[in-house]
Amino acid sequence: MKPTSAAVLRSHSSDYLHAHSSALRDLRRTTLRALGALLIFGAAVLAGGRANAQAPLPSGVAAPVGQAVAIFAGGCFWCVESDFDPVPGVISTTSGYTGGKTANPTYETVSSDTTGHAEAVKIVFDPAKVSYRQLVDRFWHTIDPTTEDRQFCDRGTSYRSAIFAVNTEQLAQAQASKAALDKTKPFKEPVVTQILPASAFYPAEDYHQDYYKKNALRYKFYRTSCGRDARLSSLWGDLAGK
């Protein structure tokens, strides 16, 4: 017996609905997989962004709100303080130790050249009054960038010259400044000053802070006898200390 037209229609409708339902299920699975992958990717991006935003600065490096920090190693930290305190926009300078491998270093251990630290100065400044690049440019003119593990009469790794950048923007600006210096420097020797990411900064002992103010005569005698200003003049000419 031949099937009736109604039976054929029902059979065709059932086949169509079955195929359509299967296609819908496949589409739903594909959509859910894509949505799941998108959610996982979004969560990863968000987590990465939060990690970057919340990545802590090294100990002793953070600046108060609205201010910024620069860290320079230029040999004797008494001299670096005295070179930057008069700069308009500089709020404070702190002598200390950074770039080493041990915690809580002292002047005695750093001076032994066994901790890896350099004498350095943390400069807190107002970026609305003086830029980081301006401070870096001034830094070059207050040091001898041609000597390794030495500044003037002071020798040893603790007296090396270095710029310790507290973020990627500072690192890029310091490197750009050095590149410009390489093209315009008024001396033949290569620039060997290190440019490095900042590490923990440890303030030096109290008697080192503002030493050039508290012991003005001794400081002047030291600076003169060490030949700092004489060497700066021979290197930089009229730019020395500026």
**How far is the CA of 218 from the CAs of 77, 102, 119, 215, in angstroms?**
15, 31, 19, 6
CB 77 within 8 A of CB 96: yes
Rounded Cα distance, 190 and 144, in Å: 11
Report whether 73 contacts 119 (CB < 8 A).
yes
Nearest one of 87, 115, 83 to 202, comparing CA atoms: 115
The tokens 């830029």 sit on which residue? 131
Contact 88, 128 (CB under 8 A): no
Residue 119: count of CB within 10 angstroms of its CB: 28
Do 88 and 129 form a contact (C-beta atoms < 8 A)?
Answer: yes
Locate all alpha helices (DSSP H) within the chain, ordered by sequence.
5-54, 77-84, 107-111, 132-140, 168-184, 211-214, 216-225, 228-236
Residues with active-site annotation: 76
